[in-house]
Homo-oligomer: A and B are copies of this chain.
Amino acid sequence: MRQPTADTANWISRFQGLMQLDQDTREQLLRKSQIISAPKGAVIFGPGKSPENMLFLLDGTVRVQQVSETGREILLYRITAGESCVLTTACLLAYEDYAAEGIAETAVRAAALPRAIFDELVASSPTFRNFVFTAFSKRITDLFHVIDEVAFQRIDVRLAQGLLDLAGQGDHLAITHQQLAVDLGTAREVITRQMQEFQRRGWVRLARGTVDILDRDALRHLSGR
């Protein structure tokens, strides 16, 4: 467990790529940004609600997902503590119509940096610029990965991966089949059936709204990592 409310005054040190920033830029970043909070379930940004700020996530996670015309949803990526929200920032510099939305998956705290300052820092600090492009990279390769998985990977493999990802260290998950279905961009029934199969094999134990992982190795083996 890491401290939930670490020293806010020096949040920069939690971001790998920002640690080498020169003193001047650090100060700008600290002075011009503002610490904000949002409760679980809050819509951080979305269609018609563009983020005026670039966010540096201090605590919690934000899920960025997309809703298709048909009403179905899919998770694009998660932003976890210690990561930033570059994609949306950059996207909204240009295109206002934006199919994706960001939702606080837990209560979140973040440092918010106004667009204008973001732009200034990109111009003035090579380190900051590098941070931004690196963050971009990661997100984009993530997106490539999502495309690959959705297009070519079997659903049982993806589900096994998803369960392991979500479980982290623990073996207990509080999640519904519907939520898992959205994460993977498939239908709830498909998840239900696969979970049954996993349970039949003794890999998980199911109950209403929860999943217990009984055999990590089996799941890991299926997931191919």
Residues of A within 8 A of B (CB): 66, 68, 70, 72, 74, 76, 87, 90-91, 93-95, 98-100, 119, 122-124, 126, 129-130, 133-134, 136-138, 140-141, 143-148, 150-153, 185
Q: Report B-chain residues with C-beta under 8 Å of the C-beta of A95.
A: 137-138, 141
A141 to B91, CA, bound (A): 8
A87 to B141, CA, bound (A): 10
Chain B: CB-nearest residue to A137: B94
A93 to B148, CA, bound (A): 22
Q: Report B-chain residues with C-beta under 8 Å of the C-beta of A138.
A: 94-95
Is A129 a contact of B133 with CB atoms below 8 Å? no
In the complex where A74-B147, A140-B143 touch, is A130 in contact with B93 (Cβ < 8 A)? yes
* 6 pairs, A vs B, C-beta closer than 8 Å: A70-B152, A74-B148, A94-B136, A99-B145, A122-B122, A151-B185
Q: Report B-chain residues with C-beta under 8 Å of the C-beta of A99.
A: 141, 144-145, 148
Q: Report B-chain residues with C-beta under 8 Å of the C-beta of A74.
A: 147-148, 151-152
Is A143 a contact of B141 with CB atoms below 8 Å? no
A137 to B151, CA, bound (A): 23
A152 to B68, CA, bound (A): 8
Chain B: CB-nearest residue to A64: B144
A78 to B134, CA, bound (A): 23
Is A119 a contact of B129 with CB atoms below 8 Å? yes
Q: Within the complex, what minimum Cβ distance (angstroms) separates A93 from chain B?
A: 5
